[in-house]
Structure 1
Amino acid sequence: MAPADARTATMQGGSPLSSGSAPPTVRVATFNVSLSRPAQGQLIDELASGDSAQARAVAEIIQRVRPDVVLISEFDHDANGTAEALLQARYLSRGQNGAAPITYPYVFQAEVNTGIASGFDLDRNGSAVQRPGVPGYANDAWGFGAFPGQFGMLLLSKYPILSDQVRTFRQFRWQEMPDALIPDDPATPAPADWYAGQALALQPLSSKSHWDVPVRIEGEIVHILAAHPTPPVFDGAEDRNGRRNHDEIRFLADYVTPGRDGYITDDNGRSGGLGAGERFIIVGDLNADPIDGDSTGRAMNQLLHHPLINSGFTPVSQGAAEAARAQGGVNAKQKGDPAADTADFQDRTVGNLRLDYVLPSVAGLTVEGAGVFWPERADPCHRLIGSTDTGRAGRDVVSSDHRLVWADLRVTGSSDESPRTSIQGLTFLGEAQFPTGFAFGGTTVGGLSGLTYDVARGVYYALSDDRSQINSARFYTLTIDLSDGGLDAGDVVFTAVTTLHGRDGEPYREGSVDPEGIALKSPGTLVIASEGDTAEGIPPFVRSFTLDGGEQAALAVPAKFLPDAERTQGVRNNLAFESLTLTPDGRHLFTANENALVQDGPEATLAAGSPVRIVKFDTASGKPVAEYLYRTQPIAVAPVVPFAPAGNGLSELLALDNAGTLLALERGYSAGFGITARLFAIETQGAADIAAMESLAGSDGVPAVDKRLVFDFAALGLPLDNLEAMTFGPPLADGRQTLIVVSDNNFNPKQFTQVLAFAIETGADQPAEAAPGGEDGRHADALPEAAGAGEDLGPPGWDGAAVNAAAAEGLIATIAGPTVEGGAVPATSGEADFLM
């Protein structure tokens, strides 16, 4: 097998990289190369020989991945740039093992805090060591290091660096950050007193430095924001390293957030951070895993949950997953997806972690591909990373214990990618009803389980879940007139009915399909989800159709969703793919099972919700690229008669933006009470990718999607039918977006088809003041409470600290004038015996 140039790599899940006339992609990478040495000048001597085996391996990795911009960490800094020049001249510009040479004409490097004597006893061991070479010196330096410049950083670029606009923040004082997590001495009653007097006054935040390096790419300025925070370990109960790591990451979040950056001052005295809409890419070994490891307060969520940062993709490698399986130890107990790991540590104590990141701005940049250089054993390039299976001292690390992480980005107009969208208001416009038995086009109208809007034609497509039992499987075309700002009887008009056909051109036979979700992918293509029928051995599917109802292609449904003969795995009958939505750019599709897969846990009960998987597909390849945990609410109301039917599930999803923000509709039923329905805003960006988890048993510690209540339909004071479908319609004259919600009457004479219309106010999401709260509760009494209003509906065992205040503040619905709080108690919605 010949080693492949990573430029031919694909997106996670197999989506081909884009090609054509679009602007070229730019590959940006971060690589902790572990080229730091115990003594000053030692790295220069080693590189000067031209025969450093580790440097050759590092160079070959870079040559094979071929990033256009790469941040190199743990590379000893020297004032003259000698080490950098040697790395380029004697390693990168010389082909290694058949790889093509690579050169970087633009370079930025600067002084770092590691190894600079503080003059204080920072580790509180009784002595302030100020001379390099003396034991304890590194612990008392402003950043851990045996000499000035150890563990430095280096930025290499093929694109011009605007040197006169570079900003560094090495000297920024930690205590100047508002609400900083200054370490506290647990042995004293005084707060934040680990560093006393002048030591605290002079203590810099950055353990190395924080850099803003503007690079001109395709005529546009992109800010490379580089950092290498201290590891959150190697301390005591005061958690000085964990807290510093948290705040070093918070600095990056604040720097890209207008309104939160006022306290920031760079080393030249210039204040503030980036302006609104500026392009940026955060790169570095940030020493924080979002799920596993020992970071304080889930520090990475400050970036992964940030609405201005595109974290809707996760670079992965099969080599990382293979390594975790082979090494075992702590890896076997971790919650995160091992394929996302970027660092290989001792398996008895730490395990492999995701620590290295390339995180672009939502504005002005699109992600075309991403990956981690971690070859599998069968790959000839595996020799470049060595064997770390034993996790013992003396293991063979050829290049580094970290892996190079890259992302292929395309520079777009700054308005091409909008920030995450939040719901900031919701107004009820009216209702229309159709009785069960209403007929159109020779069919019985009913079972409307999916709805989508065709902007070009100004019509809606409503999918019936008739299993070809009353009439052939079909969808309806209809118009909804909201021109007067309201919805009344007569405003909904059915105009056409279209029969669905299989690839053989024949209508689906009776019982062979259960259509539930529908979305318009392009002007002539629909995507439809079917729940299948586990009793008859019919699996769920997601397939594309033409507008005349002809089946085209199928998306690859993960095997874990497919029921087996023994009913020990897969979807439950009638609780499968009820939902379907496409992102506005059409690049990704989301669907979800209505309640837990058999192997994942129980259905929702009065006491607990059900763990659901939201699946994200890449529409170009038709393959799944991620799965996220969504926990439904418990059943809201007990049935009037004990043990009578009751349930609650996820009935629909609707994408708000391209960044992974969705609306989620949950609909419940309790016999003798009726229907409950609640609308939630959810964010997938900070959730764990659970695709590698075959079962969700014991998943309480796995970060689920962020979930906030937007509206409880009980506040309408109307009898509710079985609400299952929703879509955005055209904007009103005042610019507000319309939202249409439709019910599935189950063809039950006691029910009716209900159409509800709303106007919603949306806005660019803004980040909250993130509040840390360690998973293990360390120092919880000393940490500020999470900001934001509204009902926090995060999963049990997860503090959900990095909440979004703007979204939370928007969780108020306007109903005919007065406001109704999102957490309204469900009202009785009728006594009919509804079927879900």
Structure 2
Amino acid sequence: MSSSLTRRALAAALLLTSTLAPAVAVAAQPGGHDHRPVRAAQARLLGEKIVPHKLDFQGTTVGGLSGVDRDRCTGEYVFISDDRSYLQPARFYTAELDVDANGVHAVDFTGTHPFLQPDGSVYPAPTVGDGKAVDPEEIRVDPRSCDYWWAQEGDRPKTVGPPVIQPSIQFAGPTGAYLGRLPLPANYEITMEERGPRRNQAIEAITFGDRGRVLTSAVEGPLLQDGPEPDVDHGALVRVTKQTRDGKVLGQFAYPVEKIFAVNDPNSPWGPDTGVPSILAFPDDPNRYLVLERTWVAGAGYKIRLFDATTRGATDVQAMDSLAGQPVVAMRKTLVADFDTLGLSTVDNTEGMTWGPRLPSGERSLILVSDDNFAEDAVTQIVALAVR
């Protein structure tokens, strides 16, 4: 029986600032009828595994892994590569991970497929200039069908002339065939009137919640109309949107991203880069999420932090044209882990995360992956945490 048939058979009040509380803090849940305190999640390191740099697999270059999810139909994991078809066509990988309470023992890739356009062709490299290129960033396995939902950031051209490529959330079959796309909120649209997502700061984070009934997405950085990017003195607000499976917006909320943790090297041609590359719904609470914040500063390296956040009590901002200077009650969050304190061999460009198997201790494993950008001085790092 083919893998496709097998899976089908199996499938049948915080304002603009925030305080980093320790992971053991107990946060009250405002709003709703349940005011019992909820203890914030805690995390500890189980282990890690480094994938060989530019590993050749079935004629493709493994790297740029910016999203990961677990397929309940097969037990495997699926990784998305953010190669924009420069090396090979935009694609995803499947893999078996040997992870238990004693660490990450093996990462074995089992398959790869390109994402296909509606006409069945692969996506071209951006140099083609036909407005069809994509920038893959996140992938989730549909908890109902085990099809793949994947997000791409599109492209806001640096200059007038090249076509705008809009961000999107698409559906694909197990071999990459195009199945459709999710309608996105109007304020996720890139416009040349300096509105919408900044360049390279659109959709990097999606997650299913409420037993597959809700798809939540987050833009990586603040929309242009919502205020400036974070700096060493101030954080920023990014929009988190809950939608039904057919696209109806159920609510949009402001998540507070931390300020930049260090001063950028003034001699570097690159400025700091920070934002939300991944968000993950808690399986038993449709309003609660793990949120990954990733920051890079020239001369200081990466700062990776994991937060426990909730939309309960937060302002629904979907009707607000701009968040700048508005009295917004943001999502509350509590620090779960600062990767500098976990004991990792290196802290790199971590961008993807998913729940793994439950552990004998009662904790839930959390699998994370870093995007090496195909660079010689970076790594593809698979990290496993135990979350309580």
Q: TM-score, normalised by structure 1?
A: 0.40
Answer yes or no: is 1:448 the counterpart of 2:65.
yes
What's 1:517 paired with?
138
Q: What residue identity is the alignment partner of 1:728? A: W
Which shifted more, 661-670 or 553-562?
A: 553-562
Answer yes or no: is 1:429 the counterpart of 2:46.
yes
Answer yes or no: is 1:485 the counterpart of 2:112.
no
- For residue 218 of structure 2, the aligned residue among 588, 592, 601 is 592
Distance in 2 of aligned mates of 1:754 and 1:668: 17
Q: Quote how far apart the aligned CAs of 1:520 are.
A: 1.2
Is there any run of 5+ residues in structure 2 with no aligned partner, and where?
Answer: 1-13, 16-26, 127-132, 158-162
**1:384-416 CA distances to partner (integer Å, 9 max, x unpaired)?**
xxxxxxxxxxxxxxxxxxxxxxxxxxxxxxxxx
Larger relative contact order (Cα-Cα within 8 Å, sequence gap ≥ 6): 2
- For residue 150 of structure 2, the aligned residue among 502, 525, 528 is 528
Q: Partner of 1:599: helix, strand, or coil?
A: helix
Answer yes or no: is 1:640 the counterpart of 2:281.
no
| Distance change in 2, residues 1:673/1:552 (3 Å) | same
Q: Quote how far apart the aligned CAs of 1:430 are.
A: 0.8
Answer yes or no: is 1:458 the counterpart of 2:85.
no
- For residue 467 of structure 1, the aligned residue among 81, 84, 88 is 84
**1:634-655 CA distances to partner (integer Å, 9 max, x unpaired)?**
1112223367521221111000
- For residue 499 of structure 1, the aligned residue among 100, 106, 114 is 114
More helix by share: 1
Distance in 2 of aligned mates of 1:686 and 1:745: 37
What's 2:377 paired with?
750
What's 1:622 paired with?
247
Answer yes or no: is 1:439 the counterpart of 2:56.
yes
Distance in 1 of aligned mates of 2:349 and 2:96: 21
**1:12-45 CA distances to partner (integer Å, 9 max, x unpaired)?**
xxxxxxxxxxxxxxxxxxxxxxxxxxxxxxxxxx
Q: Is the Cα contact below 8 Å between 2:29 and 2:38 reproduced in 1? A: no
What's 1:578 paired with?
204
Q: Is the Cα contact below 8 Å between 2:149 and 2:169 reproduced in 1? A: yes
Q: How does 1:639-718 map to 2 (within 5 A)?
A: 639-641=264-266, 644-656=270-282, 657-699=284-326, 701-717=327-343, 718=345
Distance in 1 of aligned mates of 2:332 and 2:350: 23
Q: Partner of 2:231: helix, strand, or coil?
A: coil
| Distance change in 2, residues 1:513/1:731 (3 Å) | same
Q: TM-score, normalised by structure 2?
A: 0.85
Is there any run of 5+ residues in structure 1 with no aligned partner, and where?
Answer: 1-289, 292-300, 310-418, 762-836
**1:216-236 CA distances to partner (integer Å, 9 max, x unpaired)?**
xxxxxxxxxxxxxxxxxxxxx
Distance in 2 of aligned mates of 1:720 and 1:681: 20
Q: What residue identity is the alignment partner of 1:493? A: D
Q: Quote how far apart the aligned CAs of 1:422 are.
A: 5.1
Q: Partner of 2:225: helix, strand, or coil?
A: coil
Q: Is the Cα contact below 8 Å between 2:43 and 2:385 reproduced in 1? A: yes
Distance in 1 of aligned mates of 2:155 and 2:271: 20
Q: How does 1:174-253 map to 2 (within 5 A)?
A: none
Q: Is the Cα contact below 8 Å between 2:44 and 2:342 reproduced in 1? A: no
Q: Is the Cα contact below 8 Å between 1:555 and 1:623 reproduced in 2? A: no
Q: Is the Cα contact below 8 Å between 1:427 and 1:760 reproduced in 2? A: yes
User: What is the root-mean-square deviation in Å for CA atoms of aligned residues?
Assistant: 2.3
| Distance change in 2, residues 1:538/1:459 (3 Å) | same
Q: Quote how far apart the aligned CAs of 1:749 are.
A: 1.4
Q: Quote how far apart the aligned CAs of 1:611 are.
A: 1.4
Q: Partner of 2:46: helix, strand, or coil?
A: strand
Q: How does 1:48-87 map to 2 (within 5 A)?
A: none
Q: What residue identity is the alignment partner of 1:458? A: G
What's 1:832 paired with?
none
Q: Quote how far apart the aligned CAs of 1:425 are.
A: 3.0
| Distance change in 2, residues 1:635/1:303 (3 Å) | closer
Task: Give the aligned length.
Answer: 350
Distance in 1 of aligned mates of 2:42 and 2:219: 28
